[in-house]
Amino acid sequence: MGDGSSHTENNRITLRVGQRLFYTTKETLTGESDYFAARLARSKGIDPDGSYFIGSDPTLLEVILRYLRTGTPPLFFDPATQTYDLAKYAALLSEARYFQIPSLVTWVVEQKYFQVIQVNTKIRVYDEESFQNLPTSSSSSTSKVEYFQTTGIERRFVCPLASVEAGHVCYYRCWDDCKKAGLSVTYEDRPYFRVLAIARTVTFDPEKLEYYG
């Protein structure tokens, strides 16, 4: 029987990126990466301390090693802003191509991360009449409501009916009836105040975190 401890030691790999050291295994590195398979097959390129120098971004290399180890693709999503870090995905794509990991390249190029986390947006406008129905501001890890105030001047129909107080603005747009009744139709510029409520809800589908190897 072979010496299992000796095999384990020979299987361990140390990668050096700048001042950081990463400890992994040969199986992890060579399972999907053609770059690492070719690099580890050569006896050259090993530093005196037994480590392999890798010219890479240590933060992105950490992401890549996690992917090679678990098969779970990365999600660069900020719950606070409910947005994806597309710049980081662009940087990851460059590294995935360099290390020759086709499945990770596919994950980024085909933007499969958008299938895992979706942000559903609902917009509602509240005016003077519906302002009292404005929902209470709230936020959580999965939902967020933002409010934006807007003011301006708009042209409104002034109801000429005698039963309506002089100068009262008619919100029901019934000027057709007034015209048919032969009443004078007039308009005036009036200021308005509105609140735009934007509600965003995040949904997460773990089944979409497929292994692409």
pLDDT digits (tens, 9 = 90+) for 1-25: 445 444 445 689 999 998 899 999 9
Rounded CA gap, 129 and 22, in Å?
62
pLDDT tier for residue 26 given thresholds of 50, 70 and 90:
very high
Kindly report the average pLDDT of the chain as a whole number. 81
Q: Which two tokens stand for residue 82?
A: 């409910």
In the three-class reduction of DSSP (H, G, I as helix; E, B as strand; rest coil), residue 176 is classed as helix
- At residue 74, the pLDDT reads 93
Can you give the pTM of this predicted structure?
0.65
Whether the CB-CB separation of 61 and 95 falls below 8 Å is answered with: yes
In the three-class reduction of DSSP (H, G, I as helix; E, B as strand; rest coil), residue 108 is classed as helix
Every domain of the chain with CATH number 3.30.710.10 lies at 4-115
Checking if the pLDDT of 113 tops 60, the result is yes
Mean per-residue pLDDT for 59-76?
Answer: 94
- At residue 49, the pLDDT reads 83
Rounded CA gap, 113 and 73, in Å?
8
pLDDT tier for residue 126 given thresholds of 50, 70 and 90:
confident
Find out if CATH 3.30.710.10 is the number for domain 4-115: yes
